[in-house]
Amino acid sequence: MTIVDEQEAEALATGDIVAGRYRVLRVLGRGATGTVYEAEHQWTQRRVALKVLRAELSKNERVVDRFLREAQVCAGLSHPALVAVLDMGQDEHDGLLYLAQELVEGKTLRALLDERSPRAEAEVVAVVDDIAGALAVVHAAGLVHRDVKPENIIVSIDASNGEVRAKLIDFGIAREVDRDSTQTRTQLGALLGTPRYMSPEQARATGEIDARSDQYSLAVVAYECLTGRTPHDGASTPLLLAAILTEPARPIDRRSSGISAGRSAAIMRALSSSPEARFATVRAFADAVRAPPRVPSGRVAALAFGATALVALLIGLRMHATPSAGAQRGADAAVLDAAIVGPAPDADDVATDVFNGDVAIDDDTPERGASPDRAQDADRARAMRRMNGRSSPVVEAGAPQPTGTTAPEDVVTARPALRPATFGDAGSWLRPAFVR
């Protein structure tokens, strides 16, 4: 757990030289075991982050072992999101242990949260992605960081393009997962880490933790960045630990309604009390957070159903307001028939119109002793009507009409071609054709 003592007297002052080659420039930060300075190498002028162990702790074997272990762990790992270890040693004059690391330009995530909280979703996704990449390398080496928190994440933002980069620091309490229990497990009752970001299994202080514990801690960091709060509340450390051990994480959508559903679900899964319910790896967790938000399948189905119903309604309204195609054709045919044939003639009126082989004839004429030529003309007229797509067969002259049916001459489905007509003796009743 990190303890910051603002009143602690600095072990080093600006201008002091450490190990004959690092000149102290300023204080970068303080921790439970030491102070981090910005320093410059006397020979190369390279600036470094110089972590110096507090003098009173240099005789504590346990603390010294962790300090050296951090150097060994970091020196054996390589990733863009991990701070590189450049040097380590002990000053021969005052006995101070130091660790020289890559100097990262930027601010801690904690400082950024103090400036503005919650943070933009895209920024949080970038931080989670970088830190997950670093932790994946740590876990592949058989290690658990055990102290993932905003104070141990350095964030730099490129002013030219807004690109966000994050680095994981402080491996002081990292440990191996598969070493013998007598060497690696934390002594029962010794709590190492920062309570607010501990997984339930880490809060039990049994030492039975693995890489999924770091996944939980990273999910707490993401949760805080997106909401400004952490998943559990407690007025004191014991109450906070009790909440972590006995209560599920508060749903993130109750803290903030603006987070996409996919990311909310990913974070809440990583915050599961049971390690088995979390993602298999921290990389899988980061991939789920980075994935573009999707509309839940239930909403997709609802939207599709609504769209279909709307289309059906519009079609129904259109059909109700517009006559059907068959009805429209029937209406057009009726007008055309009326225009071409005209009203039914009197008994003494007979008309034969010859349109260069197309004949329109009144079918009552054969009963009046029509000549064979006129009978042939009538046959040709019937045939031409069939070819022109009349919807009903031509009824023979004089044949009885079926009861309740429409006379065949009253239904036309295709408009006959009109040519200049040669009028017969009944041309007085034939009206000029009206073409729609």
Of 128, 116, 120, the C-alpha closest to 81 is: 128
Instruction: Return d(Cα 150, Cα 31) in angstroms, integer.
Output: 14
Query: Residue 292 is encoded by which pair of tokens?
Result: 């573009």
Active-site residue (options: 130, 147, 353, 358): 147
For residue 16 the two structure tokens come to: 């002091």
By the 8 A CB rule, do 240 and 194 touch?
no
Question: Known catalytic residue: 147?
Answer: yes
Strands 17-18 and 22-30: antiparallel
Cα separation, 432 vs 381, in Å, equals 19
CA distance 366 to 394: 14
Residue type, 17: I
Angle CA 246–249–252, to nearest 5: 165
**What is the DSSP code (8-state) at residue 239?**
H
Residue 1 is given by DSSP the state -
**Gap between the Cα atoms of 22 and 38, Å rounded:** 9
Burial letters for 200-222: b for 16+ Cβ neighbours within 10 Å, e otherwise? Answer: bbbbbbebebebbbbbbbbbbbb
Specify the residue for token string 């082989």.
Answer: 357
- If we measure between CA atoms, which residue out of 342, 328, 337, 332 comes closest to residue 410? 337
Q: Is 37 helix (H, G, I), strand (E, B) or coil?
A: strand
- What is the set of active-site residues? 147
